[in-house]
Amino acid sequence: MSFPDGSAGVPYILVRGSSVSPVGCGNGILNAGEECDDGNIVSNDGCSTGCRNELCGDSVIQLGEVCDDGNAVNTDACVGCKNAVCGDGLVHAGVEQCDDGNAVSTDACADCKNVVCGDGLVHAGVEQCDDGNTASNDGCSSTCKKEICGDGIPQTSEQCDDGNFDNTDACTNDCKNAVCGDGHLHAGVEECDDGNAVTTDACANCKNAVCGDGFVHAGVEECDDANTVRTDGCDFCKINTPPDCSGASIANASWPVNHNFTSLTMLGVVDAQNDVLVIIGVSVKQDEPAGGQNIGDGKTCPDGKIDGSFISVRNERDGNKDGRVYHITFTATDPSGNSCTKTFTHCIPKSQSPFKPCVDQGPLYDSLVCASQVGEF
């Protein structure tokens, strides 16, 4: 009997893996020692040249196999006669950390690696974010939590973060330091905060507007000079107006002509703030020379004097003229220094019977000064 290769000898049967075919292999008849015989000695058709069933794991790469490492190990580079790849559900030892058989990147195994914070993949239900690093202050913390205002961790974009949502403490809900004008009332520090820098409303510099704070509360105060002094022109935040002398008068007693002094003072001055006024005599003048030798003049001198709030004038006139007219000036001053002035005329008539009114020649002579005239003493 001869072998398929034409040699002669004793027939034999080889175990799997032998390079020599059993006797009769390829004749289409399943003989002893053959697992198969497809009538040829061609491999990669299901029956090898050695009449063996071509199987995954036989160390022979058959048609349809990518690899065949002759073992059934699922953790090496050849699995089920296919190259091990991520997502095949089998962990390639030393190459893959895990393999869950899918391409999902939000579960515990992503790209055949165990999901960890900082890998750039967000593990659903475990991580809130993953920016591919373990640094904080970049929007995603080192523990893969979203860095947000109120998490208690000050970020580079935050001025503060106290971990609460209380707008009345030193750190507001938007993670900014509480400051006057932010619209949030800082308890124990601010009396008010209306969110603006206006000092003419009810809240000025985060304090309730009050008289004396130095800010004029529009529509409420006329002035505010930062004090409550009543003598500086702004009294209790109202402008202190000058007294009004327009309706004032003087007591008038001009007869008899006896050369004696009559004291006069200004009456009826009005003050809007009801201030205590100081009335002072300022000047007294007349339309006749002072101390002359005219009939009825009495040769007296001077004809007027000032004593504080009183001005005194002599009850006399030149009997040859048209009556003497005194021009008397007073000033009324309030504690703030505001004042008003009024000048009155006071007539000493030439006669009472029949009465002849004075004819005013004007304030020509100072009643406080004696004229130096010949014959006067």
pTM attached to this predicted model: 0.51
- Distance separating alpha carbons of residues 283 and 345, to the nearest angstrom: 12
- Distance separating alpha carbons of residues 193 and 248, to the nearest angstrom: 50
Residue 13 has pLDDT above 70, yes or no: no
> Among positive and negative, which fits the CA dihedral 369, 372, 374, 377?
positive
Query: Both tokens of residue 301?
Result: 């001198």
**Angle ∠(28,30,31) on CA atoms, nearest 5:** 120
- Percent of the chain predicted with pLDDT > 70: 89
Q: What digits encode the pLDDT tens for the residues 224-237?
A: 999 888 778 888 89
Under the banding of pLDDT at 50, 70 and 90, the label for residue 376 is very low
- Distance separating alpha carbons of residues 94 and 84, to the nearest angstrom: 12
φ, ψ for residue 256, nearest 5 deg:
-80, 160
Residue 76 has pLDDT above 50, yes or no: yes
Residue 346 has pLDDT above 90, yes or no: yes
Nearest alpha carbon to residue 313 among 237, 241, 257? 257
Predicted local distance difference test score (pLDDT) of residue 4: 47
Query: Both tokens of residue 365?
Result: 């002579």
Residue 269 has pLDDT above 90, yes or no: yes
Query: Both tokens of residue 59?
Result: 């160390």
Under the banding of pLDDT at 50, 70 and 90, the label for residue 181 is very high
Query: Both tokens of residue 110?
Result: 């992503």
**Quick one: average pLDDT of 160-185?**
93
Predicted local distance difference test score (pLDDT) of residue 7: 43
- Mean pLDDT taken over the chain: 86
**Quick one: average pLDDT of 85-110?**
88
Predicted local distance difference test score (pLDDT) of residue 23: 79
Residue 2 is given by DSSP the state B
For the chain, how long is the longest CA-to-CA vector?
194
Residue 44 has pLDDT above 90, yes or no: no
Question: 315, 326 in Cβ contact below 8 A?
Answer: no
